[in-house]
Amino acid sequence: MDSCDPVICQAVLSYNRFVVLRSFLNSEPLPNKVVEARPDTFSSRGIHFREDGLVLYLPQKVTQKGVKATYDIVLHRPTTETLHLIFSLYRTTDLEEAEVKFATFKDKLPIFIEVAKEMCNIHGLQKICDTLSEHPSWTLAHLAAHFALYDSFNDPRINCFLNSTDLDSGMSPLQVAITTQNLKTVQILVSANCSLEHLDYDGNSVFHYAASTTKEIVSVLSQGSPPRCLNARNKNGHTPLHMSCLADKPECVKALLLAGADVNIAATKADADNIVEPSYLGNFLQVHPNTFYLKDIKHGGTPLHWLECVVALLSRQANADLADKDGNRPIHLAVKGGNVSIVQALIIFGANLDILNNAGETARHLITEDQEPKILYYLYAVGAKRCSSNMEGCTDGCKFIGTYEGIPPPKILAAMDVASEKHKNKFPAKGRLLCLDGGGIKGLVLVQMLLELEKVFGKPINSCFDWLAGTSTGGILALGENNKLKVVNITRLTRALKSLTNISLIGIASGKTMKECLCLYFRLKEVTFVGKRPYSSESLENILKETFGTDTVMSDIKYPRVMVTGVLADRKPVELHLFRNYTSPNDILEVVHDSPYELPPPPEEQYVWEVGRATGAAPTYFR
């Protein structure tokens, strides 16, 4: 076959391009494209339906070959500011289709563009028509919310639909506004008293819609009295908090928590029979009173199982040990997902590391091979137990007789090496601390316990410890003079002795045995608490001076080291202060004092009896 002449081939290609271009330029617009038209175009056309300025025209008589006869929906509006311009909104050859479309437009479009005149142009009408085609059962208020037409909500033709329902989805205008994430529209509708308890066909409340938007929108919805729908489940079993976690919206999670969302509601799939018509939540609860707190977990779990928001939830006291349908707790799922930071967070917030799922597995058992070294070490370091001896499928990291404990992070290894080199496995022989706390009657109980310990040890308590510390009511410290300290004890008076409820008295038994301290404890009760509150502080001060001496200072106590808590009340906020018989860390490090407040006296200038009085201030009990 002979090859084509190059000139002829080029001519054929050029002609084909011309035909395609002409076809494109002469093509009819899409049937749903809004176009301008002149009134005389339809002057000879019959009218099938008319509603205000909206007309459905019958097909024209076709005289040209290839031209189809169409039904046209046309808008005639004086608001176009010219009688010579109209808009063709929709064209079709199917009468039924034209009637359906006309029915969608007729009750909304003419009124809407009269209220929102700025949208009566090709672009505005195109948006309105497209929206009505997608949501044919939307009301005027739905449209106004969708297009954020703030002023239109003052028009009675719009605001009468503020609590209307979309027949297809069950959405309210407020829910539509939330989906647009237009904060001002939401604020206007909330101020107009739109219902916050409206539920769509899927059981979604306004908070379900807001869960994936912004914290500002959630905040606007949660103003005022606590909303009853805040913890409602939709048909998928999800509360707004679940939805926010699924959408990975930590800020919305926090906003929902501040509004009062319950972090301990587990997700559960709703039955098909439980799907209701859009309604207000009060009606919904009357029909389904147990919807909010179903215990069965068929699909999914608690919000904690969407780990991105775990810290926000835990910080609001979420239960870290709630189970999903398989008995897995958040710690199980965090370990399986290899999320080290979430494992650490759950450890910090007290998750049970040894709890079993339905398969009898602990979190330690579920560690994947690639994550085992790091996560295993974290669990081991805080005491997570190995599997029982009859557990199957274990690795060396979890089996009962295993020895592998994971690999510490480099920083921890380095710190361990430094500590090992520094101490060479010979830690100081001294460093034993006795720290006593009490509460009510336990103050006397502690004194009695120390008496028994002295009997067992066969020597004074003070010789068994290098550091002595404590807090709160009326404890007994043996401060001793000339390095002859016998006992240091901080404890509490009974609740019946309410005079010293929040104080700790330093050493009231210089050189005395525990038996003498016990006697002195009761003496305080008998001498100090006379009459009604507030009691005279003179008796308390006299006992302190008598016990310690008027000139004894803290530095006179040579051994052991003593810490007594007090409050610096001459500043706001008040500050904790530790009275010591040793040089403070700040003085050792030569920290510059830059506070406008005066420093408390150093140990060599601080009278012991004043320390006792300061730590036992109790303003409501003493004058």
324 plus 376 within the same structural domain = yes
445 plus 329 within the same structural domain = no
- In degrees rounded to 5, what are phi and psi of residue 336? -65, -35
* Poorest-pLDDT segment among 200-204, 329-333, 532-536, 582-586: 532-536
Looking at the DSSP bridge assignments, the partners of residue 75 are 54, 87
Q: Is the pLDDT of residue 201 over 70?
A: yes
What amino acid occupies position 346?
L
226: in domain? yes
Span 421-479, pLDDT tens digits: 766 655 556 678 877 665 545 666 676 677 667 778 887 777 777 887 766 543 333 33
Residue 273: pLDDT band by 50, 70, 90 thresholds?
Answer: very low
Span 580-621, pLDDT tens digits: 888 888 888 888 888 888 888 888 988 888 877 776 666 665
Q: How far apart are CA 450 and CA 456, in angstroms?
A: 10
Output the pLDDT for position 405: 87
Output the pLDDT for position 277: 46
Last residue in a domain, options 371, 387, 417 = 417
Q: What is the dihedral of CA 533, 538, 543, 548, to 10 degrees?
A: 130
424: in domain? no
Output the pLDDT for position 502: 29
**Residue scoring higher pLDDT (505 or 345):** 345
For residue 607, the SS3 value is strand
Output the pLDDT for position 145: 94
**Residue scoring higher pLDDT (216 or 21):** 216
Output the pLDDT for position 158: 93
Output the pLDDT for position 153: 92
* HEC sequence for 36-74: EECHHHHCCCCEEEEECCEEEECCCCCCCCCCCCCEEEE
CB atoms within 10 A of CB 302: 26
Number of separate domains in the chain = 3
**Residue scoring higher pLDDT (270 or 422):** 422
* Poorest-pLDDT segment among 219-228, 287-296, 367-376: 287-296
177: in domain? yes
Average pLDDT over residues 85-97: 87
CATH number at residue 209: 1.25.40.20
Residue 63: pLDDT band by 50, 70, 90 thresholds?
Answer: low
**Residue scoring higher pLDDT (608 or 277):** 608
Closest CA to 33 of 84, 81, 75, 87: 87
- In degrees rounded to 5, what are phi and psi of residue 576? -70, 140
Average pLDDT over residues 218-234: 84
Q: How far apart are CA 79 and CA 120, in angstroms?
A: 7
Last residue in a domain, options 272, 307, 342 = 307
User: In terms of residue numbers, what domain contains 329?
Assistant: 320-417
103 plus 247 within the same structural domain = yes
Closest CA to 514 of 496, 543, 491: 491
Number of residues in the chain: 623
Closest CA to 435 of 613, 565, 576: 565
Cβ proximity of 191 and 225 under 8 Å: no
Output the pLDDT for position 190: 93
66: in domain? no
407 plus 451 within the same structural domain = no
Q: Is the pLDDT of residue 188 over 90?
A: yes
Q: Is the pLDDT of residue 295 over 60?
A: no
* Poorest-pLDDT segment among 218-232, 492-506, 539-553: 492-506
The strand pair at 86-92 and 35-37 is best described as antiparallel
561 plus 445 within the same structural domain = yes
**391-412: b or e for each residue (b if 16 or more CB lie within 10 Å)?**
beebbebbbeeeeeebebeeee
Cβ proximity of 238 and 207 under 8 Å: no
477 plus 606 within the same structural domain = yes
461: in domain? yes
Cβ proximity of 442 and 469 under 8 Å: no
Contacts of 276 (CB under 8 A, 6+ apart): 199, 203, 284, 287, 288
496 plus 609 within the same structural domain = yes
SS3 content of the chain, % helix, strand, coil (to 5): 40, 10, 50
Cα 177 to chain center, whole Å?
24
Average pLDDT over residues 246-255: 86
Average pLDDT over residues 99-126: 90
Output the pLDDT for position 6: 64
Average pLDDT over residues 8-19: 58
Q: Is the dihedral of CA 287, 293, 299, 302 positive or negative?
A: positive
339 plus 257 within the same structural domain = no
Q: What percent of the chain shows pLDDT beyond 70? A: 68
409 plus 440 within the same structural domain = no
72: in domain? no
Q: Is the pLDDT of residue 54 over 80?
A: yes
Cβ proximity of 276 and 199 under 8 Å: yes
Q: Is the pLDDT of residue 247 over 50?
A: yes
What amino acid occupies position 21?
L
Residue 246: pLDDT band by 50, 70, 90 thresholds?
Answer: confident
Average pLDDT over residues 313-338: 80
Output the pLDDT for position 444: 63
288 plus 141 within the same structural domain = yes
Span 527-580, pLDDT tens digits: 666 666 666 677 777 777 877 788 888 888 777 788 877 788 888 888 888 888
175: in domain? yes
556: in domain? yes
352 plus 460 within the same structural domain = no
Average pLDDT over residues 376-400: 89
Q: Indicate the average pLDDT of the chain.
A: 75
CB atoms within 10 A of CB 295: 7
Output the pLDDT for position 472: 53
Last residue in a domain, options 307, 342, 369 = 307
Q: How far apart are CA 38 and CA 22, in angstroms?
A: 24
Q: What percent of the chain shows pLDDT beyond 90? A: 18
What amino acid occupies position 164?
S
249 plus 173 within the same structural domain = yes
Q: How far apart are CA 372 and CA 354, in angstroms?
A: 17
Q: How far apart are CA 162 and CA 139, in angstroms?
A: 9
Whole-angstrom CA distances from 479 to 418, 486, 503 are 37, 7, 18
CB atoms within 10 A of CB 431: 9
**Residue scoring higher pLDDT (494 or 337):** 337
What amino acid occupies position 76?
H
**Residue scoring higher pLDDT (120 or 454):** 120
**Residue scoring higher pLDDT (510 or 398):** 398
Q: How far apart are CA 157 and CA 146, in angstroms?
A: 16
Write out the DSSP string of 469-534.
EE-STT--B---STT----B------GGGGGGTT-------TT--HHHHHHHHHHHHHHH--SSSS
For residue 434, the SS3 value is strand
For residue 585, the SS3 value is helix
